[in-house]
Amino acid sequence: MVDDKRPDVWIGHISMKTQVLDLSETFMKEIGLRSIFRGDTVAVLELRGGTHIGFAEDKSNEPTLVGFDFMVEDLDANHAQYKARGYTVSDIEKDSIHNSFF
């Protein structure tokens, strides 16, 4: 038997509210998530590894910060790709643990 050192627990689903379901779904698909389900007021998208992000449309929802980040294979390439698509992105911040942009 292979010694699997992965943790016994992982995230299956993340639930988020959005004021504009179409734009949220389009953005997530553009950055590489796969559409799993789309209803009138709900969209479910999948990340690598099988985690699902479920978006529920809520026009009364106030914008809030969400406490997670995405990981990618090539940060520089993704940064350039998002800029080319017209997204507003920060410069890449480099530190001793992670490099990132917003």
Within-domain flag for 97: no
Q: CB-based contacts of 2: which residues, under 8 Å, 6+ apart?
A: none
Q: 32: which 2 tokens?
A: 């590489």
Dihedral over Cα of 25, 27, 29, 33: its sign: negative
Rounded to two decimals, what is the model's pTM? 0.80
What does the alpha-carbon distance between residue 35 and residue 4 come to, in Å, rounded to a whole number? 30
The per-residue pLDDT for 13 is 93
What whole-number distance in Å separates Cα of residue 50 and Cα of residue 64? 25
The total number of structural domains in the chain stands at 1
- Is 64 inside a domain boundary? no
CA 9 to chain centre: 20
Q: Tell me the CATH number at 24.
A: 3.10.180.10
CA distance 36 to 4: 28
**Mean pLDDT of all residues belonging to the chain:** 90
- 32-81 confidence digits (pLDDT tens): 999 999 999 999 999 999 999 999 999 886 777 777 888 899 999 999 99
Give the three-class secondary structure for 102. Answer: coil
Is residue 95 one of the residues assigned to a domain? no
Residue 6 counted as domain residue:
no
Structural domain of 44: 14-59+69-88
Residue 34 is assigned to a structural domain of this protein? yes
